[in-house]
Structure 1
Amino acid sequence: MTIVALDLGGTKLSAALLVDRTIRHRTVAPTAARQGPAAVTDQMVRLVQDLPGWEQAERLAVAATGRVHGGRVSALNLSTMPGWTDVPLQEELSRRVGRPVTVLNDADAAAYGEAHLGAGQGLASMMFVTVSTGVGAGIVLNGQLLQSASGVHADFGYLRAGNGSSGHGDREDETVEDGAGEDGNTIEALSGGRALERWTRRHGGTGGAAQLIGWAAGDARAEARLQLAVTTLIRGFGDVRVMTGVEDVVIGGSVGLNPEFFRRLEVCALDQPDLYRVRLRAAVLGADAGLHGAALFTQRERSR
């Protein structure tokens, strides 16, 4: 089966032609996000039509940032994707390219890809979590992608992290100064790359999460801040396990796959009580997870 898959992010837009699950051609461009939904849709159509052999594609599959419901997309951060409120992306793309279109949230698509083609192969259920600028997630239960009619599901980064002390030790007050109040003490506010970069710059750094991770070896404040991010994620994973039964978590993203950050996650996971302990795996599909996942999901949905 031939499918064109697109991965729509706030900064990058990718398109690929997949034939029997193999990427044959691809193209990448900066997302024209500041110009609004109509300009981005035009850009998506151009990228599709620039792919050699795209006319042979039976369907289009889109992995899109934001909340997806009924083929309509709403950005979670309108400062990054202005104008993206209930945009009928599925309908508009289908009209423009003359093919059926399936639209998934990008983390859902990546989760589906890793579950069936990547690190989660052989697992009945798993959660995929990407820790990069923010914290996104998708959940596959018994081989099926967890979805909802409203598009509100598996929003792991928006889980409220409370005050960070749940009987396993209190965090240092000074480590939460990077605006837990801004985002309501969510997991993303404490563990996402944007939050770690804010902390680093506030303390004299010029880099992002990678610089903080490097500092942690010799700086007590950086060590405490990094460990807060790690512990917040691991406790969140444990809560998801208790609610869903998912015991395996696949980690992706530039922060999540940093070797030292991933090592700390593994150590912290092993230190949890049995009821909350999860097994961690590193994602293997990289930036192509969303493309592969969206295409495979579309192919399987069509065959039902």
Structure 2
Amino acid sequence: MRDFSRDHRWMSINTITLDRQGDLPTILEACVRHQVRAVCPWRHQVQQVGVDRAAKLLRDAGLALSGYCRGGMMVADPAHRQSARDDNRRAVEEAVTLGAPCLVLVAGGLPQFSRPGSAPSKDFAAAREMVAEEIAHLLEFAQAAGMPLAIEPLHPMMAADRSCINTLRQALDLCDRLDPAGDRGLGVAVDVYHTWWDPELAVQIARAGTARLMALHVCDWLVPTTHLLTDRGMMGDGIVDIPLIRGWMETAGYDGPAEIEIFSERWWREPMDKVLSTCIERHKRAV
């Protein structure tokens, strides 16, 4: 297992962690100041400055990418399904322009939440089947573009509104169904916040192996958790054994960055430099 205690060469910052403190250029400047080597930009931040300018900013800063967040939200009614497909194709194109190693996919839940304006439904099985159909459709486009897709399972508390893919087993079952040989660029992003509770996590990480493990996202689970989306903890402040999960990932062949992704009203109120300094310190001792 890699030793993170001496420096932060393997740390990446998911730019949502600093979303309230500044725009993408400001975030990238701060990352350079703190000698961060990699980032994972979010689409809304990229779109604010334009994808071509964002790509230039990343190149000029010498920053690598650990991924691009995000595509997905694929569940829609018939009237909105084509617009969802078009949006995901644009996400692939943006990821290619930025030079991302993968596009992270958050599948979507029920249609009225995944694509606002869609007719309401409670058919969860249909939502999961639509995700499989839409990933299969997107995979053709992404493979031609040379952009790997990483399915990110989300905690069951987000099943209705954000993702009906809630375990690593479900995500890998989709991978095996749509890319049985493992040569089409379909894999998974493992976020400790969403997966720490899963009793099958170690087994499924081993099942994924090097080809399927495309990203590792880290933060912590606070007790009590006061908000379903925006109360993630800084690593070391909660109950997740992050080094244990990272060890499983590395044993299975993962050698990429540990990407810090924190949705937090608390940390969004802190100065950007303080957040980055804390991320670096916690990356060394709690990841």
- Taking structure 1 as the reference length, the TM-score comes to 0.34
Higher strand share: 1
Instruction: Decide which structure has the larger Cα Rg and report it.
Output: 1
More helix by share: 2
